[in-house]
Amino acid sequence: QSSVTMFGVLDMSLRYTKANGQTLKQLANDGLNSSRLGVRGVEDLGGGLKAGFWLEGRINGDNGSVDTSRFWGRRTSVSLMGDFGEVRLGRGKTSTRLHIDDFDPYSTTGLGDVEKVYSVLGSASDTLNRSDNMVQYFLPSNLGGVYGSVDVAAGEGTAGKKMYGGRLGYKQGPINVAAALQETTGTGNVKFKQMSIGGSYDFGIAKPSLNYSQNEFGAREQKLLTFGLTVPLGQGQILASYTDAKANGAAESLSGVGDAKLMAASYVYNLSKRTALYTTVAQIKNSGLGRFALANSPVVTNGAKSSGFDVGVRHSF
Binding site for a copy of itself (CB under 8 A): 1, 3-8, 10-12, 14, 24-27, 37, 39, 41, 43, 45-46, 49, 51-53, 55, 57, 59-66, 68-78, 80, 89-91, 132-135, 154, 156-157, 271-272, 274-275, 312-313, 315, 317
Shortest separation between residue 122's beta carbon and a copy of itself, angstroms: 23
Shortest separation between residue 86's beta carbon and a copy of itself, angstroms: 13
Q: Which is nearer to a copy of itself, 63 or 142 (CB)?
A: 63
**Neighbouring C-beta atoms of residue 185, cutoff 10 Å:** 22
Distance from C-alpha of 225 to C-alpha of 272, rounded to nearest angstrom: 33
**Neighbouring C-beta atoms of residue 200, cutoff 10 Å:** 21
Q: Which is nearer to a copy of itself, 200 or 279 (CB)?
A: 279
Shortest separation between residue 61's beta carbon and a copy of itself, angstroms: 5
Q: How many residues does the chain have?
A: 317
Q: Which is nearer to a copy of itself, 157 or 173 (CB)?
A: 157
Q: Which is nearer to a copy of itself, 28 or 98 (CB)?
A: 28
Whose CA is closest to 194, among 173, 227, 216? 216
How far apart, in Å, are the Cα atoms of 251 and each of 39, 120, 137, 189, 246? 40, 10, 33, 18, 9
Please provide residue 159's backbone torsions phi and psi, each rounded to the nearest 5 degrees: -65, 140
Q: Which is nearer to a copy of itself, 23 or 302 (CB)?
A: 23
Please provide residue 187's backbone torsions phi and psi, each rounded to the nearest 5 degrees: -50, 135
**Chain centroid, CA 182 distance in Å:** 15
Shortest separation between residue 112's beta carbon and a copy of itself, angstroms: 20
Shortest separation between residue 16's beta carbon and a copy of itself, angstroms: 10
